[in-house]
A and B are shown apart, each in its own frame.
Chain A
Amino acid sequence: QQQVKQSPQSLIVQKGGISIINCAYENTAFDYFPWYQQFPGKGPALLIAIRPDVSEKKEGRFTISFNKSAKQFSLHIMDSQPGDSATYFCAGRSNTGKLIFGQGTTLQVKP
């Protein structure tokens, strides 16, 4: 199975709050789990990524938590800012480099 399921579909957070987006995957052969950020009219851009042998990765305000046994991973955005308002996609990568994307989460951070 190749699916990656992402939730919620949309999220509204106050400035300074924590944004949490969740993903679940089925393919245990995925070797890399990136998160992409997409602004309107732009292509997706890599935000942060994790390998399945690591349980957590933090880069600045962005943290990925990874639960291999549950086949779930999540993105936490600490101290959310209006500039973080965008669509976020999780993905799983196959051994050929093919990315299977989730459905996306539209985040709105209110000032």
Chain B
Amino acid sequence: EAGVAQSPRYKIIEKRQSVAFWCNPISGHATLYWYQQILGQGPKLLIQFQNNGVVDDSQLPKDRFSAERLKGVDSTLKIQPAKLEDSAVYLCASSSIRGSYNEQFFGPGTRLTVL
């Protein structure tokens, strides 16, 4: 089965610019997660979708970050405007059933550098 796909793999932008990341989860996975992984730290959940509804966005900086999951499949995470501290790897993950023991499968991530 194909894994979680993310694009682009790398992005370099100036501060105050905008950027968008795309994720295509594993087919049939209802739950989709976006994590931020700062260098030397563990991933931190930004937002969790169940189909196209938001389950948890408590750690999403909503003044600059937004995410959507149209039709309950692909998802886009946007940052506008970017700050230096947004430099990180943005990981997308998906799982098949919310609240079960089913594992989260992670994509390769998008490495964002904000200059």
* Residues of A near any B CB (own CB < 8 A): 4, 6, 32, 34, 36, 41-46, 49, 51, 89, 91, 95-104
Contacts and interface: CB of A to CB of B under 8 A. Distances in A.
Contact of B106 (A41, A43, A95, A98): A43
Contacts of B108: 41-43
Interface of B: 4, 31, 33, 40-45, 48, 55-56, 91, 93, 95, 98-101, 103-109
Contacts of A97: 31, 33, 48, 55, 95, 98-100, 104
A49 B91 CA distance: 20
B56 A96 contact: yes
B40 A104 contact: yes
Counting from the closest, the 4 A-B pairs by CB-CB distance are A101-B42, A43-B106, A46-B103, A44-B106
A49 B31 contact: no
B103 A34 contact: yes
A104 B98 contact: no
